[in-house]
Each structure stands twice: as structure tokens, then as C-alpha cells.
Amino acid sequence: MLAPLFAGVDFAPPNVEPLHILPILVLGLLVAAALFLELKDDDTPADTEHRPVILGVGVLSLVGLIGYYLSWSGPLAHPTFNSMLHSDGLSRAAGLLIAACALLTLLAAPDELERYRNYRMGEFAALLFSASLGMTMMASADSTMVMFLGLELFSIALYLLCIFLPDRAASRESGMKYFLLSSAASAVLLYGLALLYGATGSTWLSDMSQAADTANPVLCYAGCALVLCGLMFKLAAVPFHFWAPDVYEGAPTTVTAFMSVATKVAALSFLWRFLAVLNDQTFELAKIILFALCCLSILVGNLMALGQTSVKRMLAYSGVANAGYLLIAPVAGFELYQPMIFFLFAYLVGNMGAFLALAQLEQSLGKPVTVSDLPGTFKRDPWIAGAFAVCLFSLTGLPPAAGFLGKFYLFGKTLAAKQYWLPVFGILGSLVGAGYYMGTAARLFAPGADDAAAEEDENQGFSISSTSDLALGICVLGVLYMGLAPGQLLNWLSTNGMPGL
């Protein structure tokens, strides 16, 4: 019926393949459902009857989504939605990681909101789902327009999540800072895409790669550099990392946990696809820049983390350092796809676990945690101390935690790719990293002053619910499981296909 309307226009009805875009549909519906249910509640503590529904539906859908990714048996690489999206190994791995982040955050967030007397869980969930939706789109996009749409979708959701506790000045500062800096970074990225469009005449990655050889090299270089700037900002790689410590520190800790991992997943996935379409000269140039940023991130991130007294800031700088480790894979070559994804999985459980354990500590102390607050934790709460320590071991890269195998695999394959300096640099970085990770872990077990503990018991009056513990437990089990029995994950990665480039 509409056909005459488009007569003369080259128009094909959208080729919707529900099976391939299921994650996007599910996350979109979740956003709608959460918003709808939220509208029916007031902000008052008494009227929260829909919160269990939001939580339940969200958790079940995300678990279902993870199951969907894990049991995927369709075509390994397939362009879908009018070729705007990829449905391939990379998009599934990234989608799985993002869904897992969202799930853990959803489980742990209610406690944090409750602690600060914030009763807008539905809104929180809606923002969380739209952030995940945007990240999933970005990670699987072929059309750079879809990618940018996803980028903005998750960025805007994250600004709001950062400012979610507006009673606290730190949270306001965090949201505002992130908003201002990130918008600038997005604009830079968009300008880069515009230049690339000018050079190649396309906004599609797959078309860009075909036109890349004949394109104007200056436009290509400039466009590529600007896009890389935008992506490095999202990855929090040096020198685009200045926002990270302040934003991470001020945002609610569960939000920090989410964004510290999921944002990196989305940005790295797109970086991977983007690097694959560059022509040879541009690619070589990009590799040199990335090499420098990789080493700088490892160096600066680890050294800066060493001097922090706030545990959260320390973990933020550790995120900068880990951005460096993640960049090793694109620099060393495309055959490092599997080690990179495995490292991301290990980073997810270790880093989320550390932040979630920190969130619980913060909730029981009722204030931001500094290193001098840590002694006595083991005696008060062996579970938190043990879980935190295991996650810190994973982040350091010590066996038997997942982080060890992550680094083992990543550095090993880098050596095999004849890149000798990156692993050496990575190991040196780990050594510096051990200084603050282990320093924190050691303080967790130190005996604390007794009267301080008694004082805390008074102002506590707040008990952590089992969902927070569940989220932390999943992380710890994940750390140990991937460290001891990585076979299944490696198997899934190898049978699930490579990015369809």
C-alpha cells in the first residue's frame, strides 16, 4: 500500500530477522517495561510494589539473553537488519559481556539505592537497560550511523546513571563532568566519521573498506585519528583518561562497576571492526599510535593507582591500566581476537567483583572507603574480605584466578605474534599493579582497631540483602571457574566464530 509513496526511491523494506536482532529487541522491550512500571509507582518508600516485578523481569530476561548467546547455533557470521548490524562472533561475545555486566549491576544496585534512600529503582533499571541496548548496538554495528546512535544512547543513559544520587555532590560532579567531556568526545568522533564519509563516500564500514584504497589519504588520516580519539576516550586510555577517576569516584559504585567494563567492551568491539577496514598505510599509522597509547596507559594507569588513598580511585586508575592491556590485542594483530575476548571475560568478573565488594564495604561503612578503613574487614566479614582479595588477585594476574589465564593467554599469543616488547611492558606493569592490588588485599586482612569496629556497628543499621551477595558470589565463582576450568569458555569462543570482517 505504501509502495507508490516510494516510487522512484531505492527502497527495500527492512529485512528484519528477529532471531539475529533478538538482544536488541529484548533490551528495548525491557526499557519500555521498566519505564511503564516505574510510572505507576511514586517516589515514596512505601509505594514500591512494582520494584520486584522490574527486578524479576529484568533478571530473567538478561539470564535468557545470556542463554541465547551461549547456545547460539545459527550462522556464524551474518549481516542483518539491512546489513546495518553484524551478527557474528564478536557481536555475540560483546553482547554476552554487556548482558552479564547489566545482570550483575541489576542484582547489586537495589542495596546501594536503598542505602542512600533513593527509591527510583525502576528508573535506574530503565537507564541501565538503555545503556546496555546502546552498547550492544555499538558493538555489532556495521553502519557508522547505527554505531553513533548506540554510542549516544548509552552515553546519555550513563550521564544520568552517574548523577543518580543527586543529593551527593560527588555524584553531581561525576555526572556533569562525564556529560561535558563525553559530549565533546562524541562530537570529535562524529566529525571523524564525517571526514571518512567525505573520503570514501560511505557511512558503512564494509563499503569504506572497499573505497579505502582510492580515498584521499589526508582525509583518511584525519578522520581515522578523530575516530580513534573518540574511542580512546570511551576506553579511558591515556591521554584521554582524565575524566575516569573523577567520574568513577563520584558515580554510584554499582554504576561504576557497570561502566568500567561494559563501556570498554563496546568501544573495543567497534575499534576492532574499525581497524579492519582501514587501508594499509592508515592501519600502520594507527598501529603506531595505539602502541604508544597502550604502553602509556599501562604505565600511567598503574603508577597513578599506586598513589591513591581512595580505593575507588585506585580501581579507576586500574581501569586505565587495563585499557592498556586491552589495546595490546589490536596492536599485536587480528589473530589475538580470542585472547582479547578471554581477557575481557576475566576482566569482567575480576573488576566487577572488586567494585561490588567495594560497594558492600561502602554501604556498611556509610562513607567512601579509603585504604585506612580496610583493616579489620577480615575479622568483621570474612566473606567480603575473601571475595575482594580473590578479585584483586585476578586483577593482578595471579593464579589460580581468571586474570592469570587472561594475561597468560594474551601475553603468550602476543609473544607468538613476534611482538616482544608488549608482554615485557605488560609484565612490568603487572608488577607495579601488584603494589597497589596486593597492598589493598593485605590491608583487608590486617587486624583493625577494636573500638572503630564497635563504632561502625552503631551507625550501621543497614543489612546487605542477598541479591548483592549473589552478584558478588557470581563474580567470585566466575573468577575461580575461569581460572580453573577455562576449557568451556575457550571452546565457546572458538566454535562461535570470529568477527565477520
Partner 1 sequence: MLLNLVIGLPIASGLVGYFLKQKGSRGFGVMIAALQLAFLKSLLTGDPGSLHFFSPWVPELGLNWSLGIDGLNEVLLVLVPLFTLLAILSRSADSDNLPGFVASLLVLDGMLCGLFLSQNLGLFYIFFEGMLLPTLVLIAGYSKRDGPETALKFLLYTLVGSLPMLLGVLSFAFSSTGGESLEFSELKTIAVAKQLTLFLPFLLAFLVKMPVVPFHGWLPTLYRNAPASVTVVVAALMSKAGTYGLLKVGYTMFPDAMALMAPSLCILAVASIIYGAFAALGSDSIKEILAFSSLSHMAMIALGLFSFTKNGVSGATLQMVAHAVSTGGLFLVVALMEKRSLPDKLRRYGGLASHTPRLAVMALFLSLASLGQPGLGGFPGELYILTGSWQRNEGLTLVAALGIILAAAYLLRWYQKIFTGEAGTYHVPKDISSEEMLLLLIPTGLSLLIGLCPSVFLTLIQKTLEGVM
Residues binding partner 1 (CB under 8 A): 375, 378-379, 382, 386, 389-390, 393, 398-400, 404-405, 407-409, 411-413, 415-416, 418, 423-424, 427, 430-431, 434-435, 438-439, 441-447, 486-487, 490
**Shortest distance, position 250 Cβ to partner 1, whole Å:** 28
CA–CA separation, 381 and 374 (whole Å): 11
Residue number, 28 or 439, with CB nearest to partner 1: 439
Write the single-letter amino acid at 220. C
CA–CA separation, 266 and 244 (whole Å): 16
Residue number, 178 or 378, with CB nearest to partner 1: 378
Kindly state the cell numbers that stand for 61. Answer: 530476561
Residue number, 176 or 415, with CB nearest to partner 1: 415
**Shortest distance, position 454 Cβ to partner 1, whole Å:** 16
CA–CA separation, 415 and 471 (whole Å): 35
**Shortest distance, position 324 Cβ to partner 1, whole Å:** 16
Number of H helices, E strands in the chain: 20, 2
**Shortest distance, position 372 Cβ to partner 1, whole Å:** 11
Residue number, 262 or 390, with CB nearest to partner 1: 390
CA–CA separation, 130 and 454 (whole Å): 42
Q: Give bridge partners of residue 190 from the DSSP assignment.
A: none
CA 50 to chain centre: 28
**Shortest distance, position 402 Cβ to partner 1, whole Å:** 12
Residue 462, SS3 per DSSP = coil
**Shortest distance, position 336 Cβ to partner 1, whole Å:** 11
**Shortest distance, position 499 Cβ to partner 1, whole Å:** 19
**Shortest distance, position 484 Cβ to partner 1, whole Å:** 9
Residue number, 264 or 413, with CB nearest to partner 1: 413
Kindly state the cell numbers that stand for 343. Answer: 581477557
Residue number, 415 or 501, with CB nearest to partner 1: 415
Residue number, 231 or 475, with CB nearest to partner 1: 475
- DSSP at 86: E
What radius of gyration, in Å, describes the C-alpha atoms of the chain? 22
**Shortest distance, position 319 Cβ to partner 1, whole Å:** 21
In DSSP notation, 476-498 reads HHHHHHHHH-THHHHHHHHHS--
In DSSP notation, 31-85 reads HHHHHHHHHHS-SSSS--TTHHHHHHHHHHHHHHHHHHHHT--S-SSEEETTTTE
Q: Give bridge partners of residue 143 from the DSSP assignment.
A: 204
CA 63 to chain centre: 18
Angle between helices 253-277 and 89-115 (to 10 degrees): 160
Question: What separation, in Å, do the N-terminal and C-terminal C-alpha atoms of the chain show?
Answer: 37
- DSSP at 87: E
Of the candidates 102, 100, 155, the one whose C-alpha atom is nearest the C-alpha of residue 267 is 155
Residue number, 113 or 405, with CB nearest to partner 1: 405
Residue number, 327 or 444, with CB nearest to partner 1: 444
Residue number, 187 or 416, with CB nearest to partner 1: 416
CA distances to 14, 27, 72, 74, 376 from 19, in Å: 14, 14, 10, 9, 51
Q: Where are the alpha helices (DSSP H) in 201-239?
A: 205-211, 217-235
**Shortest distance, position 338 Cβ to partner 1, whole Å:** 9
Residue number, 282 or 430, with CB nearest to partner 1: 430
**Shortest distance, position 406 Cβ to partner 1, whole Å:** 11
